Each structure stands twice: as C-alpha cells, then as structure tokens.
Amino acid sequence: MKISFILLLSFLLFNCKGEAQIFPDKNWVVNATPEVDGWGPTARSVFTRYIIDSTNVTGLLLLHKGKVVLEYGDVAENSYIASCRKSVLTMLYGNYVERNLIDLSKTLEDLGIDDVSDLLPIEKQATIRDVLSARSGVYLRGANGGDFRQFAPERGSVTPGSYWLFNNWDFNLAGHIFEKETGKNIYDEIETQLAVPLQMQDWDRSLQTKSGDTTVSKFPAYHMWFSTRDMARIGMLMLHRGRWKNKQLVPQHWIDDMLTQRTSYNEAQKNVPFLKEDGLDLGYDYMWWLIENTKEPNLKGAYSAQGALGQNITVFPAIDAVLAFKTKSDYRRGNSIQTQMTIIKKAAEIYY
C-alpha cells in the first residue's frame, strides 16, 4: 500500500536525529558546535566555497533544529522573492479555510470572476482549489510574466482540475480571491499572521506593493520583499506544520493539505518538458514544490518555495533542517533553477 506524502512527512519529522527544538526569539540561536550534530566542518567549508565560487547567492541561512549551522552573505537585506510569494500566500489561506470563510469548492462562476478577456463557460467551472493547484485550465495571460504559459494547451480544451500548468494568471487570481473572500489585504495578513508572531527581524510593510499590466489582466501580482533570515522563519513554521513555539499559527491540517501532491513530477515534466533538466524531480501541491523520486535519504519528503533568479526556502523534514537563500535582483544577478537544485542537494549532503 502506497504511503501518502503527508504520512511520510510526519514519520520523518518525528524520527530525525535527536529531539531538542529551538525556536528563535528576536534573534537566531547559533549552533556553536555544528560538527557534533552532524554538520562536518570540511563539508560546510566545501559548500560555502561552492556558493562563493559558483553561484550568485547574496544571502544564505542553513538551520538544524532551529539553530544556525551555516550563514553566508547579507541575510538581513530585504529584496524581491519572486514566486516564493505564492507559497507564502497559501499559508495565509489556512485560517480562513478553517473558519469556512473561504470555500475551496466555489467556482469562478460562483465568485463572479471575469477578466479583460472574457472567460469561457468551461473555464468558469474552475474551483478555488484548482486555482491554488495551478490546475484551473484557464490560460489567459497574467498581469506579469515569468511563467510556463508558452506550454499551454488551447483555451477551452481541458477540464478544470485535469491539467497542471504554472501560469501567473492562476496565482494572481488566488491573491484576488483571498482578498475578495476575506475582506483583508494580503500584506496586512502577512504582518498579522506571520511577521509579528514569528518575530521577523526585517519585515517592512512599506516595501510591499502590487504591480502588473492591468490592460492585460485585472488581477495584479502581489509581489513580496523579505530578508533571508525572515524567509528561514517561514521555513521553520512549515517544518513544524504551522506551529511556532506553543501556538498553532496555521492549522496543521491545512499544512498537510497544502503539501498533498496534486501534480506528480511525471506530469509536470510531461506538460513542461524543460523541467526534466532541473536536476531534481519536482511535483506540485498548493504552490509549493515537492522533491520526489530521490534516493538521497536526507531529501526524503523535502519541499520548496522557489522564485526566479535564485529565491528559495527548502524544508528537509528527514533531518529537521531548513535552507533559505536568495539572490538580490537589484544587483542584476541571478541563479538558474538548476543552480538552485544543486544548492539544495549540496546542503542536504553536508549532514551525515
């Protein structure tokens, strides 16, 4: 009998080496003897040299059991996190789904959704769940670029829910739906649900702003700016299935639902062939990428928020670790998805 991804995740989370957990207060706790806990000095040095010599990473933080075992670059500067914004948004949905203020079975027709280009009748049957899964079957252009829409089937040719495609129209609409159904602003909710209770050190509400070409789509992109060390706090919250210290900030069952596979790596690579070249096989759920088909034990059950140019939050339940790294776009630098995947693999390999 096939074990579900979530059961595997739970098993790995509670069966990693040791049990001591540290949650940071305003400042992170640094592990003074990481080699004692399985993070060898030579391997850490080799990894850091790779980051310096072979990547454009501007900030990186590696945590184990809530303590910093490796830090590189400027982890305090706020910068654009690209598509990691989508993963953050799905976390905000949880409390409202829990309180039945967001019904994932509602269709776009129920919500009265239309756009600059009219939706087809079949497209209006897509549900909120389909939108969060990137399976709406709506292939309109988003207000911003940076997606896989060039691989889209002909409009109206697939039933909503039956076909995966990473399309910014879905993701931007998910932001609009959240605000429409809750009456709340996304950035205010990040502050209330995440930044304040997680004691984010660098969160700046004034930096957060939406943008996009509204002549193409009525739904702008809800861009976000975070520091590396605040991204790491999001990763820790995910690792602990929505719990921070003794408080459940995001419902545990919502985290489990978020991380339930809805698109296998096989389907993702079939629909977008160049994903075969990424270096890791990635499935998809509610806007988080699932690392699948790996023989590396430290990567079992791992998952990531990923953004263009090299923005990443990866959670390693098997070893109770979190990796956050970024490349500040203002410096006109970037890291390919292949480089991101290599960083993830090399980070996991340090632990023995």
Say yes or no to pLDDT of 2 above 70.
no
Say yes or no to pLDDT of 196 above 90.
yes
Say yes or no to pLDDT of 304 above 90.
yes
Where would I find the H helices in the chain? 5-13, 41-54, 84-98, 108-111, 128-132, 168-182, 186-189, 228-239, 252-258, 265-271, 337-350
Q: Using 50, 70 and 90 to split pLDDT, how confident is the model at 166?
A: very high
C-alpha distance from residue 148 to each of 140, 142, 339 (Å): 12, 11, 19
Say yes or no to pLDDT of 181 above 60.
yes
The pTM score is: 0.93
Cα separation, 68 vs 323, in Å, equals 10
Least confident interval from 5-9, 46-50, 110-114, 285-289: 5-9
Rounded percentage of the chain residues whose pLDDT exceeds 70:
94
Summarize pLDDT for 77-94 with one digit per residue, the tens.
Answer: 999 999 999 999 999 999
Cα separation, 270 vs 164, in Å, equals 10
Rounded percentage of the chain residues whose pLDDT exceeds 90:
92
What is the per-residue pLDDT for 20? 63
Range 160-170 average pLDDT: 98
Cα separation, 8 vs 55, in Å, equals 32
Q: Using 50, 70 and 90 to split pLDDT, how confident is the model at 154?
A: very high
Range 141-163 average pLDDT: 97
C-alpha distance from residue 56 to each of 123, 166, 202, 269, 332 (Å): 40, 25, 22, 26, 10
Half-sphere exposure of 211 (CA within 13 A, CB side): 9
Sorted by where each begins, the domain ranges of the chain are 5-78+225-350, 85-187
CATH no. for 5-78+225-350: 3.40.710
Summarize pLDDT for 214-272 with one digit per residue, the tens.
Answer: 999 999 999 999 999 999 999 999 999 999 999 999 999 999 999 999 999 999 999 99
124: its two tokens: 């209006």
Q: Round the average pLDDT of the chain to a whole number and report it.
A: 94
What is the per-residue pLDDT for 1? 40
For residue 7, count other CB atoms closer than 10 A to its CB: 12
Say yes or no to pLDDT of 18 above 70.
no
38: its two tokens: 């399985």
Q: Taking a C-beta distance cutoff of 8 angstroms, is the pair 234, 91 a contact?
A: yes
* DSSP SS3 for 206: helix
Summarize pLDDT for 8-17 with one digit per residue, the tens.
Answer: 444 444 444 4
The single-letter code of the amino acid at 70 is L
Cα separation, 223 vs 207, in Å, equals 10
C-alpha distance from residue 15 to each of 45, 172, 294, 317, 319 (Å): 28, 38, 19, 9, 9
